[in-house]
Amino acid sequence: MSLNVAGLTTYTDELKMELIRKSVLEGRTTSLITIQPDVKSSASINIIDSDLVMQAGACGWNEDGTTILTQRDLSVCPLKINESICLDTLEQYYTQKMMNAGSYNTEMPFEQIFTEEKAAKVNATIEDIIWKGNTSTGVGNLALCDGFLKVIDDEAGNVVTGNTSSATAITASNIIDLVDDMVAAIPTDIINSDDLHLFVGYETYRLYAKALRDANLFAYSGAENQGQDFSQMIPGTNCRLIAIRGLNGTNRMVLSKASNLYFGTDLLNDFESFSLWYSQDNDEIRFLFKGKVGVNFAFPGFVVDFTLV
């Protein structure tokens, strides 16, 4: 007599492995640029400049020249995340094995990995907003606040044009020249700065690294010998090329002193702190994140922008 298993379903051990979270390419812009904390709504970047007039030495006093005080506003956008989880729902699935005995479910059974997942996603989302946020044309999270690219576009007449060859695409055959053009466009007043950064998306960085390697017949030595992944000094310059998540998929490149880029927030620790609690009134776990985000440049004239034509 044969074995009849038609009434059974194929067995899958859902508890064999631990709960894992999906990998997220996180941001690193805020670790490089100027942080302005304690901004509740708006603050001023206070700037001093002067019109220096030199004169031939002689007796007498001939007043000339002006010291100029100006400001640029750094406004922040308040952001939040509200999420609720009914733990009773978990009783219907394999997750029931992770839960405490009894019908009063008050503790998240996978709290640590849950908060790690949220922290990574918040970091990545903030990075995207810092660069690609646009309150006029943005979609979803990117509509919440204006990022650097929006600020650059609004200052089109004041920033330096880096696409001097009028390129219509970034390719393996032109990427080295395009990067060199960006470096050549650096304003003279900041050309010897020690914090010049050329920010690009990861795909642009990889294209450039491969082009350099190919051009040097595999003698190329890049980021792997410079102490930081996806970051390297542009050969023969004092400018660092660095890949950031926020410029992925944009075909944009931005070069400036890192200290010229400002990130405004209320409390920097807000992006590392979350509230997770059991709400007895609602019989559910609630998750809360709140923070403020805003960006600007101190000197638009010290920003070199690459945009395809």
Bridging pattern class, strands 253-257 and 196-200: antiparallel
300, 200, 184, 193: which is closest to 257 by C-alpha?
193
Nearest 5°: the CA angle 38, 42, 43 is: 70
pLDDT tens digit sequence for 166-192: 999 999 999 999 999 999 999 999 999
Residue 14 has pLDDT above 60, yes or no: no
Determine phi and psi for 292, rounding to 5 degrees. -125, 140
Determine, yes or no, domain membership for 165: yes
Going by C-beta distance under 8 Å and a sequence separation of 6 or more, which residues neighbour residue 232?
Answer: 209, 222, 223, 226, 240, 241
pLDDT tens digit sequence for 48-80: 888 889 989 989 999 898 998 988 999 999 999
Number of structural domains in the chain: 1
Determine, yes or no, domain membership for 179: yes
Radius of gyration of the chain (CA): 26
Residue pair 282/84 in contact (Cβ under 8 Å)? The answer is: yes
Determine, yes or no, domain membership for 180: yes
pTM over 0.85: yes
Residue pair 196/188 in contact (Cβ under 8 Å)? The answer is: no
The region, left, alpha or beta by phi > 0 then psi within -120 to 50, assigned to residue 283 is: left
Domain that residue 268 falls in: 29-42+74-306
Cα dihedral 51, 54, 55, 57 in deg (nearest 10): 140
Determine, yes or no, domain membership for 4: no
Among 28-32, 100-104, 177-181, 232-236, the range of highest mean pLDDT: 177-181
**Which whole number is the average pLDDT over 86-109?**
80
Residue 293 has pLDDT above 60, yes or no: yes
Going by pLDDT thresholds of 50, 70 and 90, the confidence category of residue 1 is low
Determine, yes or no, domain membership for 58: no
Residue pair 126/27 in contact (Cβ under 8 Å)? The answer is: yes
Determine, yes or no, domain membership for 55: no
Determine, yes or no, domain membership for 65: no
Determine, yes or no, domain membership for 61: no
